[in-house]
A and B are shown apart, each in its own frame.
Chain A
Amino acid sequence: QVQLVESGGGVVQPGRSLRLSCVASGFTFSGYSMHWVRQAPGKGLEWVAVISSNGGLQYYADSVKGRFTISRDNSKNTLYLQMNSLRAEDTAVYFCAREMSMVRGYLDYWGHGTLVTVSS
């Protein structure tokens, strides 16, 4: 069955960096675009970034553009989110999600999330 397992969250000081990982299993990872979506404590969902199946295209929310980088290693079935210059407002649970294989597909599977806390 499809599984997405995030890791790499933790407590980090403002201005520092953190890299999240999402290991995929149960499907052909290289055939799907992948997303990161976050949820601040007690708040709603916010889309963060997407990467195409071969890694050639990436798009970002304005709130993270220039600070976050989404990437993937299809040989390791792993999605990444490199987060630099972290701010308090980046504190959130970060979910990875699979995009159904179609043009502008829906997000059909989600991981359990990993918590990032930005605090001094």
Chain B
Amino acid sequence: DIVMTQTPLSLPVTPGEPASISCRSSQSLLDSDDGNTYLDWYLQKPGQSPQLLIYSLSYRASGVPDRFSGSGSGTEFTLKISRVEAEDVGVYYCMQRIAGWTFGQGTKVEIK
């Protein structure tokens, strides 16, 4: 089974400042046959269900602000927020779907 490891698990942020979350997979998430990287990012805001932010490594979901971006390759991935806003607080999860479906442990983002 593929294991997803996120760092850090807690991230205090300052509004207006950038932030980044890392995610590592135990196996490559690149499918060499189709060239896709099967890595997504979700945000679960307090008291809400998860919402899709980024899919297939770097594609923003509909309605997601362009301050969110996804990057990486193979087994190392990063979610970046260019300028954090108060509404960005919550728990961020990476998820792989190249072999089954597995989530990272989650990174809790809160305002300093």
CA distance A26 to B52 in the complex (A): 18
Asked if residues A35 and B105 are in contact (CB atoms below 8 Å), the reply is: no
Interface of B, secondary structure class, is loop
Asked if residues B40 and A44 are in contact (CB atoms below 8 Å), the reply is: no
Asked if residues A47 and B50 are in contact (CB atoms below 8 Å), the reply is: no
Residue in B49, B56, B91, B102 whose CB lies within 8 Å of A112 = B49
Residue in B40, B49, B93, B100 whose CB lies within 8 Å of A95 = B49
CA distance A97 to B49 in the complex (A): 10
Asked if residues A106 and B40 are in contact (CB atoms below 8 Å), the reply is: yes
Asked if residues A108 and B103 are in contact (CB atoms below 8 Å), the reply is: no
Tell me, yes or no, whether B14 is within 8 Å of chain A by CB.
no
Tell me, yes or no, whether A51 is within 8 Å of chain B by CB.
no
Asked if residues B56 and A46 are in contact (CB atoms below 8 Å), the reply is: no
Smallest CB separation, B5 vs chain A (Å): 12
Interface string of A30-64 (1 = CB under 8 A from B): 00000101000000111100100000000100100
| B interface size (C-beta, 8 A) | 24
Q: How many A-B residue pairs have CB under 8 A?
A: 51
Asked if residues A45 and B55 are in contact (CB atoms below 8 Å), the reply is: no
Asked if residues B52 and A44 are in contact (CB atoms below 8 Å), the reply is: no
Smallest CB separation, B34 vs chain A (Å): 8
Asked if residues A106 and B55 are in contact (CB atoms below 8 Å), the reply is: yes
User: Which chain B residue has the least Cβ–Cβ distance from A112?
Assistant: B49
Task: Select the residue from A44, A47, A105, A110 with max chain B CB neighbours within 10 A.
Answer: A44
What are 5 of the A-B contact pairs (CB < 8 Å)?
A47-B100, A95-B49, A110-B50, A111-B49, A113-B49
Interface residues of A (CB under 8 A from B): 35, 37, 44-47, 50, 59, 62, 95, 97, 100, 104-108, 110-113
Known: A44-B103, A45-B44, A104-B98. 20 other contacts (CB 8 A): A44-B93, A44-B104, A45-B103, A47-B103, A50-B101, A62-B1, A95-B49, A95-B50, A97-B50, A104-B97, A105-B97, A106-B55, A107-B40, A107-B50, A107-B52, A107-B95, A108-B61, A110-B51, A111-B49, A112-B49
